[in-house]
């Protein structure tokens, strides 16, 4: 059994809960009675863990760029390391990739301690460094062959080209590719050795929304192929769209961790279903009689607090049954930007300071 402290999003009191490592349980705040979900950290078996980081620190002079962080990444999941610029994302991922030397801490990849045996791990990982640019005067195909030749373990280059949707560009020189295509080639390079784990450090930074979406589809495809993906990003939408598990880092510390639903239920405000321009009188009383917390807003709008998602269907059923006349229904729940704002007092896009 392990114990874990969790802050109640409603009354902000901290309570301690017990559970098994990796277990997810529903808990109730002893102060205000608010409830939510908690997932217990702690080591799971090596069979399930792709990356395990313990008490990792990186100190530059008096600045702690990464300050005693611990987390683990499960095999086959997309793990997003989310934080503003300067939060310590790249420093962390580059320590995991053995590009930087940690000040203290332990890192295991696929059960191997990288301080001792990173060479053993190199064949099993693929890396797209931050702001990576490949050799300008090689074609896409030549680039992939070049990097593939550096490994003992190979993936089929043609199938990578097809799966990354690079077929029409395979004979173009790298320098002539668009930003989005260059990033796709960067991801493709990270796959030439058929890695078990793919590290993508801010793969969509600087891309336009269309190109970003294309790269997202490529990354989502990696999960389908059974790859573990360690993704760093400062785009909240990217983490929301792609990640199975999100760790939010701020000023070198992990301030929240869990799936998107867990983070929202733990740190977000309650979800609100809004019935817009409700013309039927008595609707508020009907909903209250079914135990809902209801508020009236201007313009005839009614706001209903949603405790859990099953209650949405219940509301819709009531509205239909009572023949309530309204224009539209809108459901709104907290997003990562709001959670970050709530936890740090700063916006993700504003940076770490």
Partner 1 sequence: MNLKFIKTDLILGIKSWLRSKGTVFWTILFPVLLIMIFGAIFSDTGNIEYDLVVQDLDDSELSEGFVYILKNISILTIIEIDIDEDITEYMLDEDKSVALQIPEDFSEKLQAYFVNTNASVNLTFYVDPSEQTTTGVIKSIISGMLYEYNMGLTQGKTVIGLEEEKTLGQNFTYIDFFVPGMIGFTIMTSMIYGSIERNTKYRKDGILRKLLTMPVTRAEWILSKMLFMLFLSFISTFVIILVGVLAWGLNIQINIFFFVIVICTSFMFSGLGMIIGRFVKEEETADMAGGAITFPMMFLAGTFFPLDQMPDFLQSVARLLPLYYVNEGLRNAMIHADLDKTLFFTGFVVAFTLIFFIAGVFLTKWKED
Q: Which residues bind partner 1 (CB under 8 A)?
A: 60, 94, 97-101, 119, 122-123, 125, 127, 129-138, 142, 145-147, 149-152, 173, 189, 199
CA 182/CA 305 separation, integer angstroms = 45
Residue 256 pairs in a beta bridge with 248
C-beta closer to partner 1: residue 38 or 190: 190
- Report in angstroms how near the CB of residue 14 gets to partner 1 at its nearest: 37
Is residue 300 within 8 Å of residue 277, measured between CB atoms? yes
C-beta of 75: minimal distance to partner 1 in Å? 19
User: Considering beta carbons, is residue 16 or 149 the nearer one to partner 1?
Assistant: 149
Least distance between partner 1 and beta carbon 129 (Å): 4
Phi and psi at 32, nearest 5°, equal -115, -10
Report the residue number, 23 or 136, with the smaller CB distance to partner 1.
136
Q: Is 300 left (phi over 0), alpha (psi -120 to 50) or beta?
A: left
CB of 107 to partner 1, least distance (A): 13
Taking the C-alpha atoms of residue 163 and residue 203, their distance in angstroms, rounded to an integer, is: 17
Encode burial over 235-248: b for 16+ CB neighbours within 10 A, e otherwise: bbbbbbbbbbbbbb
Beta bridge partners of 258: 246
Whose Cβ is closer to partner 1: residue 61's or residue 298's?
A: 61
Of the candidates 225, 314, 207, which has an alpha carbon nearest to the alpha carbon of residue 216?
A: 207
Q: Least distance (Å) from partner 1 to the CB of residue 152? A: 7
Give the nearer residue to partner 1 in terms of CB position, either 135 or 308.
135
């Amino acid at each position: 059994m392990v114990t874990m402290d969790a802050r109640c999003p409603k009354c902000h009191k901290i309570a301690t809960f017990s559970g098994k490592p990796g277990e997810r349980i529903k808990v109730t705040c002893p102060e205000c009675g608010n409830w939510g979900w908690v997932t217990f950290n702690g080591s799971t078996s090596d069979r399930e863990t792709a990356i395990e980081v313990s008490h990792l620190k990186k100190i530059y002079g008096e600045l702690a760029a990464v300050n005693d962080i611990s987390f683990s990444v499960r095999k086959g999941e997309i793990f997003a390391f989310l934080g503003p610029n300067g939060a310590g994302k790249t420093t962390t991922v580059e320590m995991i990739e053995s590009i930087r030397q940690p000040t203290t801490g332990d890192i295991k990849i696929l059960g191997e301690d990288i301080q001792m045996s990173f060479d053993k791990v190199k064949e099993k990982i693929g890396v797209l460094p931050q702001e990576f640019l490949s050799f300008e005067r090689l074609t896409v195909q030549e680039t992939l062959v070049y990097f593939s030749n550096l490994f003992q373990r190979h993936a089929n280059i043609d199938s990578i080209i097809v799966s990354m949707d690079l077929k029409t560009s395979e004979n173009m020189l790298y320098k002539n590719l668009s930003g989005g295509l260059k990033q796709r080639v960067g991801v493709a390079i990270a796959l030439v050795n058929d890695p078990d784990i793919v590290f993508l450090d801010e793969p969509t930074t600087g891309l336009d929304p269309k190109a970003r979406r294309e790269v997202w589809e490529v990354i989502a495809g990696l999960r389908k192929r059974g790859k573990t993906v360690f993704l760093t990003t400062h785009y909240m939408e990217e983490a929301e769209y792609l990640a199975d598990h999100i760790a939010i880092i701020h000023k070198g510390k992990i301030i929240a961790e869990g799936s998107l639903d867990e983070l929202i239920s733990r740190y977000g405000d309650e979800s609100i279903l809004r019935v817009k321009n409700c013309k039927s009188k008595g609707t508020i009383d009907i909903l209250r009689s079914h135990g809902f917390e209801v508020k009236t807003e201007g313009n005839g709008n009614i706001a209903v607090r949603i405790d859990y998602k099953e209650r949405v269907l219940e509301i819709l059923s009531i509205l239909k049954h009572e023949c309530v006349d309204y224009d539209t229904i809108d459901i709104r729940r907290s997003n990562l930007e709001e959670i970050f704002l709530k936890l740090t007092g700063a916006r993700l896009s504003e940076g770490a300071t």
